[in-house]
Each structure stands twice: as structure tokens, then as C-alpha cells.
A and B are shown apart, each in its own frame.
Chain A
């Protein structure tokens, strides 16, 4: 029956070839990959279970238009600011946690089939075959649960500290558990200091955890369960001593660790390399002063030599860590270099963590410049791929980029470092979200300051906003670069970016952007100019809430006001139009009113610009705006107000300036009857500027009325 299955001939041949070679997958084979006689096929190349997948994954590069793959690919769901990135990722994980909680609470529903007939035994049922451990409910232990040593083993192997402590107590504490399990539990407790570690399952929480850098203080729990277990152990094995000393040293209980080490040494119990590594890490807590500390470090190393314990790469990084923690100075630096050289002779190459400590030691913020980084990068570039060996490895790239940006101020070095990070799968060494953003902050800053304009733009296009969202300080740097580069459309775009990134409420940044825009505004093409005008108008309307909203919202944080200069800048840009019907005049008017109502901080820095605007408005045929501008100038007491009001009035009345001045020197009452309200307002402004005070009592009223009917008046003309 099955002989009727039609299969391509070649395939069947291929299969028989394989068959004659390996009947079962994974059989061991000679590993010379050459066909010896031209007939027998070469042996199969060895490969791991995921090697094929990794090779395929390596063909996929990054897509600058897409967000990180943990975010859903939909315009509504792609985050664009740091806040959103964080909250979206964390809420997705919160959902996951909720589901996992349900699974664990109602584990019986997930492992049996409720709909099976009652005659059938409710045996555990798993949908997947082979069974997938990750989908199985996790056991919950409490005071009422019946536990065995198996449970304790399970919890220890999965590093569930709290659960293992509960089970340990349920099993009868120190007396009810075998020595072997006690040792395992002791090691676990010492490693984590009896604190439940953050679960490996919840990646985002770790990624966005605010600051998990351990405090350099004695946090070791004195008299805790670890001590109890240690006391109860009889005889105390070398492993138990090692675990205790390492635990104390890891949590900076240096004194006790040291004492215990002395005790052990008297008893003649051998210690491991790990113990010495941890002792080296906390040796600085025992002594004060650089020379004493260095002396202690030296004696520890000598002791290792005496005991015949060979150091490893962790010893090197522990030494450097201690040295870098003791401040700077020639002695320590010399010491570090000699240690590195000596370890090299032992064929122990410094890892990323060691390099990190070296950078910390040499490249101080206000120290002399040391170009140690270029040597390090040269060495790292030689390596095929970088391995993560200890947690401090993730500090290397962020520190190195910081050195590039602040210490060396060298863009080529920064580019080389970035290329190194992007090589292969080195990106895993970037650390967590916090470190990642600091890394890019340094990189973008150094690029803005020292790279060519085109290159900076290219970099910004690839990084912002999906990989990195600039912080306000970096944004200012970027604006500065754009201003120098004279990229008007980019500046206009920068405003929308500010809004999206959530920086639009920062007045300082907006003012900075406005300054940059005004400075680059002349000399742009008309199309770009219109974009910039639109951006300026948008800035004005942004943050202005509707009255109802104002009522609804109790103002939690006082909204920062834009400065008068900034508003002036907006007015200047918006008024650059010849068309009377242009809606931008509307925003000019709004801006002027804001100025007059003193909703903007300070006074404009360049009143001449405002005077120009007034003249232009008058020329275009919008006397209301011109009048407001002039009045504002006069109220602020600028000298430009007089000349401007004369000029504006001249344009309005279509008379030469001398005639206007004559007219203005006439009495107030004569003017009221003969002049248009807008012109009247200008005249009042003139007199205000001249005398420094209003002539008639109702000037306030008339000027405000002139504001209100300025629209209708301009329509009339």
C-alpha cells in the first residue's frame, strides 16, 4: 500500500544515503568533513538544536521604522516617548502576571479536563506532547501544605527563596533536613542574602527597574536563617565555610567575613578561588587609606599564591573593582596596570568588567586625559564575539561612551565603539533600559558636538524615536546642531517631536527652539518657511486649554509660561505673510493679547521686531493688530513705541510722517471725534510712550474696546 506513495527519485536516494550513514540522529561520527573516495558522503556537520534558527535569525537586520518587537506593530500602540515605552511594556507584563496568577491559583483547571465523563479518572492532562514545563502551573506552598524533601529540592533548584524557607520550616527546620540539602539551601541563602530575587520570567520589570545598583553597605542579615543553618551543621564542611564567607563578603559584612576566614585558616580548611575573589572585593572595608588598602590587597594575593590557589578572570576584575573604588591617583593607577600585566602573563585576559573598572580608574571627570580607551577598543575589535561573564560587564559600553563624550570628546572613537556594540549579538551587553538610554544620550551628544552635520542627521534618523527618545538636555543639543546647520524644516519637525516626546511643556526648551527658528528663518525656502510658521502658530495654541478644561482640572503643576521674547518670536514668524486673510494673523493677534494680559514672563528682548510687525500689519491693512502691538510696546515703556506709532499711523491714514506728528501734537478731544478707533488707540499709545502715562482716564477702556472691535473695523476698510 505504501509503495504507491510517489516520491521524487532523488529524494529517496538521498534518504538511503543518509540511512546508510546514520540510522539515528545524533549518532557520533568521525568529524572530517571531506568525502574520502568521492562516493561515500562526508560526515554530517555537528550542530546544536537551535543553530539553524540562529543562522536564520542572523539574516534579519534592524528596521529603523519599527518599534522594538515587544511592542505591537500598530500606529495606535507604538510608543513614542520614554514614558510610554515604559508604561506599555510594563502593562503588557502586568497582564502576563495576572494570567500567571490565575494559572497558579486554579491549577486544577489547567491540568485536568473538566469535560471528561465522570467515569474517567481525572488524571492530569496536558495538551502539549511532549509536555512543556513552562506552561505548567507553579506549585504554591503555604503553612498547610504537605511537603517532602523533593519539594525542597525543587524550590532550591529553581531559586525560590521564600518557598524554600517555608518548606524548610515545615520540614522541621535544621533538624529535619539532610545535611546535603542543608548545604544546598545555605548556598542559596548566602547567594541571595535571603531575599527573593526578581523573577527571571518578568523581563520587563528587570529591564525598567528604577535603580537596582546595590548599595555598598553591609546588608548581610546577621543572625538570619543562613547563620542558623550554618550553626546547626555538624561537621562544618569546607563548602559551608566557603558559602558563608562568600555570602558575607558579597553583602559587605567584611569584618565577619575576615574573622571567619581567620578561623578557617587556623583549622587548616582549604578555601576556593571564589572565596578569595569575594574577599578581595571587600578588602577596602577593613582598612583606611590607600597605602594600607593596597598593602592588604597585596597580602591577600600573596596568600593565594601560598595556598597554591590559581586565580581566574574574576580575581582580576575583583582586584580592579577594589582599586577603582578607592578613588584615583597615580599609585592606584600604577598598581592596576601592573596587576593587568601580571595576569596577562598568567594568560588571563581582562574581560569587559575589568576594562570598565580601568576606565573608572583612569578617566575621571576632572582628571587629566588618558587615552586608555583606544587601546581597549583595539583589543576588543580583535575578538570574534564578546561574552558576558559577570553583571558588571554591562557597565562597560555605557561608561566607554561616556568617556568618548565627556572625557575624550572624540567622535571617531564613539563611532568605533558603537560599531563594536552593533557587531554580532554584542547588543545584549548594553544593559537595561536605563543604561541603554544613557549610552545613547552620550552618543548623540558627542555626535551633535563633534560629528559632521549630515552624519548627525543620519544618526538621528535611525535612532529617534524607536531606539532612543532624547531627553530635554539632549534635545537642546540637537536643536543647537540644527540651528548651526540651518535646517529649517528639521526645526519645524523638532516641534512635533517635542510634543510627541512629552517635552512640549518645558518652556525653556520651547524658547530655545523658537530662538533657533527665528535665527534660521530668513534664508529658507518659501515652503520651509510656511512649515515653520505653522509650527510657530501651533506652539502658541499648544498648552492653551479651553475654559471648561481649566475648570475641570485642578492645576497640579503650574504650567510654565513662555517668555515674552518667545511669544515675540512667534509673532515675528507668523506675521511674515502678505495675505490679509491668512489665518496666521489670527494667531498673531492671540499672541499679542497674551502679551498684553501678561501671560508671558518678562518683556521682549527685541522690541524692534514687534515694532516691525506693527508696521507690517498696518501696511497689510490690519489696524487692530498694529494698534495692539504699538500699545503693548508703549505700555512696556520701550522707546521704539513712539517711532512705530508715528509710522503706523502714517500708514493707516496714508499721510506723510510730519503731518502725522503734527496731528498727534493736537489735543486729545479733537482726535477722538475725527479718528477711527484703531487709529485712536495708536495715538494714545504715542502719547503714552511720550509722557509715560495715559492722558485720559478711559484710555484703558478705549484700548480694550479697540481690541474687541478691531476685527470688525478691519473688515470695514
Chain B
């Protein structure tokens, strides 16, 4: 902190010269799925019996992000000039798959990943279908393995619910 000014990465600056190499501006402006984004993706079809359960997250299509629902990943890489864009996205996907696979059939919500400095906090809603002892085993296993894999301290912040019905927002 001495002889310096704290400036959080998000404060704006222009990228030229050497900096352009560090943050590929072009890469983040390339969208390949534009035509489908508002028509099909992230939307659920109404069933005949109207008995398909939707969580709050599922009930709001993607274009409501930042309006009715918020992001599932929180980090600084997507800000202007953010570092490690592709790596962060890939790691987040790895964490999601690892969580849903390790906590098999227990995860009732999206896996929420928040990163602060090198600390990764993974939050999720878990069904109380296994005994607390088993849950503690999985907790320790997940935290340690992810921490060793990503080389960041990982903390799991779980909330348990009785059954999947608790997170259902509506039926369509």
C-alpha cells in the first residue's frame, strides 16, 4: 500500500500498447450464438399438464439477468481489462460439473461461484437426502480437491432444504 494508490481493477482506463496483449479486447466481443439467445436458449416449454416444476432461476429467461435475477459467477475477469477470462470461465464450468457430480442428485439450485482475491466461495442449495456425516465427508473432499486443483482456497457455503419441492417457484 505504500507509495501507491489502490485502484480496483474496474476503474476505467484505455488499453493500448502492451496492455492490449494482456487483455484481448476482440475475444470478448465475438459472439457466436446471437440468433438463438432470445428465442430458445434458457427457456422452458410449457407442458400439457402444467406440472413441470421450475425454480426461480429457470422461471426467468436469460435476458432478465441483472433485472430479475443475478449472475451465477461473480469475479473481476469479465470487467474491462480483466485478466484470465477464458481460464476463469473454464474453471467455473469445472467447479459446476464437479459439484453436481460429487453431490450427485443433491444440488437443488445453480452452483454459485464467487471469487474474491484468490478465495473461491461456492454456494449451493443441497437436499437433505444423505446423513450429515456423509455430507461432511463430501464437504471436506470437495473443498480440498478443488483447492488443490485450482490452487486457491475453496469454501463451500451450503444451505440444506428438505426436498426439491422447497426450491420450486412455479409449475408450467
The answer, among A5, A7, A12, A72, for a CB contact under 8 Å with B139, is A72
Chain B, 122-155, contact with A by CB distance < 8 Å: what is the 0/1 string?
0000001000111111111111110111111000
- Chain A residues with CB under 8 A of B141: 95-96, 98-99
* Min CB gap A164→B, angstroms: 24
The answer, among A11, A12, A127, for a CB contact under 8 Å with B152, is A127
* Min CB gap A448→B, angstroms: 31
- Chain A residues with CB under 8 A of B148: 99-100, 103, 110, 135, 137
B118–A74 CB distance below 8 A: no
A72–B158 CB distance below 8 A: yes
- Chain A residues with CB under 8 A of B128: 76
B137–A95 CB distance below 8 A: yes
B139–A95 CB distance below 8 A: yes
A92–B2 CB distance below 8 A: no
Instruction: Give A578-605 interface residues, CB cut-off 8 Å to B.
Output: none
Q: Which of A19-27, A319-327, A403-411 contacts B (4 or more CB under 8 A)?
A: A19-27
- Chain A residues with CB under 8 A of B135: 72, 76-77
Determine the residue in chain A with the shortest Cβ distance to B152: A128
Check: A209 CB closer than 8 A to any chain B CB: no
B145–A91 CB distance below 8 A: no
Check: B34 CB closer than 8 A to any chain A CB: no
The answer, among A5, A22, A72, for a CB contact under 8 Å with B136, is A72
Check: A419 CB closer than 8 A to any chain B CB: no
Check: A15 CB closer than 8 A to any chain B CB: yes
- Chain A residues with CB under 8 A of B144: 95-96, 98-100, 103
- Chain A residues with CB under 8 A of B140: 91-99
Report how far A18 CA is from B4 CA in the complex, Å: 9
* Min CB gap A600→B, angstroms: 33
A15–B132 CB distance below 8 A: no
Check: A57 CB closer than 8 A to any chain B CB: no
Check: B159 CB closer than 8 A to any chain A CB: yes
Given contacts A96-B143, A99-B145, whether A88 and B133 have CB atoms under 8 Å apart is: yes
Chain A, 21-35, contact with B by CB distance < 8 Å: what is the 0/1 string?
011010000000000
* Min CB gap A670→B, angstroms: 62
Query: What size tier do the contact residues of chain A reach?
Result: 35 or more
* Min CB gap A96→B, angstroms: 4
* Min CB gap B136→A, angstroms: 4
Check: B3 CB closer than 8 A to any chain A CB: yes
A77–B3 CB distance below 8 A: no
- Chain A residues with CB under 8 A of B152: 127-128
Report how far A77 CA is from B133 CA in the complex, Å: 8
Report how far A75 CA is from B150 CA in the complex, Å: 30
Given contacts A76-B128, A76-B160, A96-B143, whether A25 and B137 have CB atoms under 8 Å apart is: no
Check: A126 CB closer than 8 A to any chain B CB: yes
B151–A12 CB distance below 8 A: no
Chain B, 1-29, contact with A by CB distance < 8 Å: what is the 0/1 string?
01111000000011010000000000000
B2–A25 CB distance below 8 A: yes
* Min CB gap B112→A, angstroms: 16
Check: A378 CB closer than 8 A to any chain B CB: no
- Chain B residues with CB under 8 A of A102: 145
* Min CB gap A92→B, angstroms: 4
- Chain B residues with CB under 8 A of A89: 136
- Chain A residues with CB under 8 A of B145: 99, 102-103
Report how far A19 CA is from B5 CA in the complex, Å: 12
Report how far A44 CA is from B3 CA in the complex, Å: 12
The answer, among A74, A92, A135, for a CB contact under 8 Å with B159, is A74
B2–A18 CB distance below 8 A: yes
A126–B151 CB distance below 8 A: yes
Report how far A264 CA is from B147 CA in the complex, Å: 52
- Chain B residues with CB under 8 A of A79: 132
- Chain B residues with CB under 8 A of A5: 13
A128–B159 CB distance below 8 A: no
A1–B14 CB distance below 8 A: yes
Interface secondary structure of A, over-half rule = helix
Report how far A12 CA is from B3 CA in the complex, Å: 9
Given contacts A7-B5, A11-B5, whether A88 and B143 have CB atoms under 8 Å apart is: no
* Min CB gap B171→A, angstroms: 26
- Chain B residues with CB under 8 A of A132: 151
Determine the residue in chain B with the shortest Cβ distance to A128: B151
Report how far A75 CA is from B152 CA in the complex, Å: 28
Given contacts A99-B145, A102-B145, whether A15 and B133 have CB atoms under 8 Å apart is: no
A76–B132 CB distance below 8 A: yes
B147–A135 CB distance below 8 A: yes
Interface centre among B139, B156, B160, by most A CB within 10 Å? B139
* Min CB gap B35→A, angstroms: 29
Given contacts A92-B140, A96-B143, whether A15 and B14 have CB atoms under 8 Å apart is: no
Check: A84 CB closer than 8 A to any chain B CB: yes
Check: A148 CB closer than 8 A to any chain B CB: no
Instruction: Give A94-143 interface residues, CB cut-off 8 Å to B.
Output: 94-100, 102-103, 110, 126-128, 132, 135, 137
* Min CB gap A494→B, angstroms: 24
Determine the residue in chain A with the shortest Cβ distance to B132: A77
The answer, among B133, B142, B143, for a CB contact under 8 Å with A91, is B133
Chain A, 50-88, contact with B by CB distance < 8 Å: what is the 0/1 string?
000000000000000000000010111101000010011
* Min CB gap B20→A, angstroms: 13
* Min CB gap A449→B, angstroms: 35
- Chain A residues with CB under 8 A of B118: 128
B142–A22 CB distance below 8 A: no
B5–A88 CB distance below 8 A: no
Report how far A98 CA is from B142 CA in the complex, Å: 10
Instruction: Give A393-445 interface residues, CB cut-off 8 Å to B.
Output: none
Report how far A84 CA is from B133 CA in the complex, Å: 8
Report how far A41 CA is from B150 CA in the complex, Å: 43
- Chain A residues with CB under 8 A of B138: 95
A12–B132 CB distance below 8 A: no
Report how far A237 CA is from B69 CA in the complex, Å: 73
Determine the residue in chain B with the shortest Cβ distance to A137: B148
Report how far A93 CA is from B133 CA in the complex, Å: 11
B134–A74 CB distance below 8 A: no
Report how far A103 CA is from B150 CA in the complex, Å: 12
The answer, among A15, A72, A110, for a CB contact under 8 Å with B149, is A110
Report how far A233 CA is from B149 CA in the complex, Å: 44
Given contacts A88-B133, A135-B147, whether A22 and B2 have CB atoms under 8 Å apart is: yes
- Chain B residues with CB under 8 A of A23: 3
* Min CB gap B149→A, angstroms: 7
Report how far A338 CA is from B53 CA in the complex, Å: 80
Question: What residues of chain A have their CB less than 8 Å away from a CB belonging to chain B?
Answer: 1-2, 5, 7, 11-12, 15, 18-19, 22-23, 25, 44, 72, 74-77, 79, 84, 87-89, 91-100, 102-103, 110, 126-128, 132, 135, 137
A-B complex: 3 closest residue pairs judged by Cβ atoms = A95-B140, A95-B141, A99-B144
A15-B5, A72-B156, A92-B139 known, 15 other contacts, Cβ within 8 Å? A2-B13, A12-B5, A15-B3, A75-B160, A76-B132, A77-B158, A77-B160, A88-B136, A91-B136, A92-B136, A95-B136, A98-B141, A102-B145, A127-B150, A137-B148
A-B contacts, 21 listed (Cβ < 8 Å): A5-B13, A18-B2, A19-B3, A23-B3, A72-B136, A72-B158, A74-B159, A84-B132, A87-B133, A91-B133, A92-B140, A95-B136, A95-B138, A95-B143, A98-B141, A99-B143, A100-B148, A127-B150, A127-B151, A128-B118, A128-B152
